[in-house]
Structure 1
């Protein structure tokens, strides 16, 4: 692809820097405390913020079935701009929310934003960087991890200046509006279409495909792996502060992001020599051992180590590897199978975090351990049967 589009790709990727803040900010202990105070419901109602975070998954779940087709029909720029506008409303809406339900509605739009960015930005960048599609996809995770790495320092700077944490939300909303203006004027490549070609619909592709027990197990892993890292992102800091005596749990976000960045780099190298499906078992197994140690030891040191290890083994590339493996198994319906994987991921985000909002931090971590065990067993099954599955 002509290098003249490279600046456009960079502008598009900046959306994922802001997205990294959007998908993590509600999991920060200080943000939770600030919001419940803003809503006037008391520190004992922190679970309400977790339920608001769950609404991100609901918004994604609602919009995913239409976001992809709209991107294909109306173009990547339109899809990206819808995502950008929705994200601006999310940030400003949460910052101004007088109660949980206003924030909940804003969070649904945050999920919508995620869907339209995924179906607008990612295909556009893949088209710009062809044939390096893997690099194009991995760069989205890189920008997310970079902002998550910096997030605790942003919060620390606000605290040091005695400023409201809502300022971060307002600045993020303003920043993505500026990015949206740049996207509106950025040149984009036109996706190639065959004359008279009509792509089959989602349901038609599902009916015409052969789903085995192994492929279904693989798809379910997208549910379990999402639950694992979302529960950690949104609830681990509360556990660390309440039960492990961690004075500044926001630092855990930095360790998590460092682990995530390391996973992107290391796995990108290893996956050229080792089948991606192998990591679907090894990485969750590491996560499981880590979660058990954090639960049992309940120490500050173990919480920091755990954050880095969970960031590496759960928050880095597992969902991307599930998507890539599913695409290998269903090469003729890549778009459909990707939608199915992401719908399962969004369903996990919504249901599991909604449930977590009604539980105490120790019970949430135990639930995370149980879900991760299920993920490990599913991955073991898929690995044992993968050779036969890939030959079908």
Structure 2
């Protein structure tokens, strides 16, 4: 069937291609930014942490407000904030001002998330999981392209700031495109008000979300974001300083990593139409992440790192964060923006706290950062098992209640 929101979805996805670049722009240009800001790797890592603080500061409220006022304003404002970040970072020589621009980038990410995820779930109500997982494909595409762009700039001996300007140009052109697109009506208060009163004799069976479930999904959002965020920020440095690869070879590990995530998206997208299957994928992918990270830490050789960069990309960055959000949003069918805000608020806490931890760890050893990520992945696997168990218990409860409801 023809969907009138396909062009809108394309524009929303392109935003996340640029976002994929934005997440790793500072880490891949770390040496150049160290010179520009007159600091060290730990200082740049602290600036990177500002993205998490900015994201956390408004994410929950933007999610709630997008349920009330609609998705478009938040998406457009997020794009404007991202443009401010791209242009600001390359024009400042003060680390405090750079921190402020990083904060703005975090706000940009929050507004994009609050508007985009609910919009896609409303535009494709029959396949919300697939629509959300495809976001990861475009994030991965951006993270695949950026190392190639930077390698080309290094080869041509061009200014590193061109990588920021290319991202800004794509975002600007896409903003003009989205202004002409139609957005789906948001399912906020009006949906609840328009729903007819239930028959007292036959109350509908609701999929409840207890405090335990809410806490487990929220914590999973933190852990899942941490697992892939650490890899995206430190895989290149691990390849260079622990494995012994050259700079240009080490940043290409991120391209291998994103190839894995893209393949995972292609495999996962058609599989996440059913909740039971989606839950099984959540458990499988988190287990694969743990095993792959453990292998890289135990055997930091060139071939092992190259091969398992692909596996880690497949399992930790191929849409597992979006799968967790889709499952959580199923518990809040008429407050998808609020669910998105809660889930990604946990993720933004990760992007704020983890760089502060890794800044300390990097002063001792880059290898310690990878071991830390392995421990986080182990916690994620245990959480996924717990969420799966709770989901199975809820399904059994609904099976027992349904005949009574009839």
User: Smaller-chain TM-score range?
Assistant: 0.7 to 0.9
CA contact (8 A) 1:76 1:120 kept: yes
**1:13 maps to what in 2?**
13
CA contact (8 A) 2:115 2:337 kept: no
TM-superposed CA distance for 1:190, in Å, is 3.9
Work out the CA distance in 1 between the residues paired with 2:223 and 2:176: 37
CA contact (8 A) 2:60 2:342 kept: no
Question: Which stretch of the first structure deviates more once superposed, 152-161 or 376-385?
Answer: 376-385
Work out the CA distance in 2 between the residues paired with 1:125 and 1:83: 16
Question: Which stretch of the first structure deviates more once superposed, 328-337 or 101-110?
Answer: 328-337
Q: Deviations over 1:27-51 (max 9, x none)?
A: 32xx11111011122xxx2122222
Work out the CA distance in 1 between the residues paired with 2:191 and 2:145: 47
Within a 5 Å distance, the mapping from 1:222-261 to structure 2 comes to 222-247=221-246, 248-261=249-262
**2:31 maps to what in 1?**
33
Work out the CA distance in 1 between the residues paired with 2:216 and 2:119: 30
Q: Deviations over 1:304-353 (max 9, x none)?
A: 11211111111112111212222344546544333221111111111112
Work out the CA distance in 2 between the residues paired with 1:191 and 1:289: 40
Work out the CA distance in 1 between the residues paired with 2:30 and 2:107: 22
Cα 1:255/1:173, change in 2 over 3 Å? same
Work out the CA distance in 2 between the residues paired with 1:215 and 1:76: 24
Question: Which stretch of the first structure deviates more once superposed, 107-116 or 177-186?
Answer: 177-186
TM-superposed CA distance for 1:149, in Å, is 1.4
Work out the CA distance in 2 between the residues paired with 1:198 and 1:46: 54
**SS of aligned partner of 1:194:** helix
Cα 1:163/1:4, change in 2 over 3 Å? same
Gaps in structure 1 of 5+ consecutive residues: 200-208
Question: TM-score of the superposition, structure 2-length normalised?
Answer: 0.85
Gaps in structure 2 of 5+ consecutive residues: 196-207, 398-406
**1:203 maps to what in 2?**
none
CA contact (8 A) 2:64 2:338 kept: no
Q: How many residues align?
A: 378
Within a 5 Å distance, the mapping from 1:188-203 to structure 2 comes to 188-191=183-186, 194=190, 197=193
TM-superposed CA distance for 1:109, in Å, is 1.0
Work out the CA distance in 2 between the residues paired with 1:125 and 1:324: 11
Q: Tell me if 1:55 matches 2:56.
A: no
Within the candidate set 301, 304, 310, 1:302 is matched to 304
Work out the CA distance in 2 between the residues paired with 1:127 and 1:384: 28
**1:387 maps to what in 2?**
392
CA contact (8 A) 1:65 1:339 kept: yes
Cα 1:215/1:188, change in 2 over 3 Å? closer
**2:403 maps to what in 1?**
none
CA contact (8 A) 2:130 2:272 kept: no
Within a 5 Å distance, the mapping from 1:33-182 to structure 2 comes to 33-41=31-39, 45-182=40-177
Cα 1:222/1:9, change in 2 over 3 Å? closer
Cα 1:292/1:166, change in 2 over 3 Å? same
Q: Deviations over 1:31-84 (max 9, x none)?
A: 11111011122xxx2122222222211111111122123333443221111001
Q: Deviations over 1:259-278 (max 9, x none)?
A: 11111121224445752222
Work out the CA distance in 1 between the residues paired with 2:250 and 2:374: 20
TM-superposed CA distance for 1:289, in Å, is 1.7
**SS of aligned partner of 2:250:** coil
Question: Which stretch of the first structure deviates more once superposed, 373-382 or 54-63?
Answer: 373-382
Work out the CA distance in 2 between the residues paired with 1:285 and 1:189: 36
Cα 1:133/1:371, change in 2 over 3 Å? closer
**1:364 maps to what in 2?**
369
**1:202 maps to what in 2?**
none
CA contact (8 A) 2:57 2:107 kept: yes
**1:185 maps to what in 2?**
180
TM-superposed CA distance for 1:130, in Å, is 4.4
Question: Which stretch of the first structure deviates more once superposed, 161-170 or 329-338?
Answer: 329-338
CA RMSD of aligned residues (A): 2.6
Cα 1:5/1:99, change in 2 over 3 Å? same
Question: Which stretch of the first structure deviates more once superposed, 348-357 or 374-383?
Answer: 374-383
